[in-house]
Amino acid sequence: MSQSIAVIKGDGIGPEIMDATLRVLDALDCGLTYQHIDAGLGAP
């Protein structure tokens, strides 16, 4: 069964930390799908 989770990178070190987190989650092969949400200064 696949679960969908929100990924909010934000600003500052957020993008770097979230990229590393997603690599870990992918390596665990948990069956997660990601919904990317814009937040921070780059958000429309």
Containing 7, the helix (H) or strand (E) segment is: strand 3-8
- Asked if residues 9 and 42 have their Cβ atoms less than 8 Å apart, the reply is no
d(CA 18, CA 39): 13
The DSSP bridge partners found for residue 6 are 35
| Tokens coding 20 | 């590393």
- Give the model's confidence band at 2: pLDDT under 50 very low, under 70 low, under 90 confident, else very high: confident
Give the pLDDT of residue 7.
Answer: 96
Task: Look at residue 3 and tell me whether its pLDDT is greater than 90.
Answer: yes
CA 8 to chain CA mean position, Å: 6
Hey, where are the domains in the chain? 3-37
- Give the model's confidence band at 40: pLDDT under 50 very low, under 70 low, under 90 confident, else very high: confident
Residues in the chain: 44
Read off the pLDDT of each residue in 5-33 and give the average, rounded to a whole number. 94
pTM of the model: 0.80
Read off the pLDDT of each residue in 31-35 and give the average, rounded to a whole number. 95
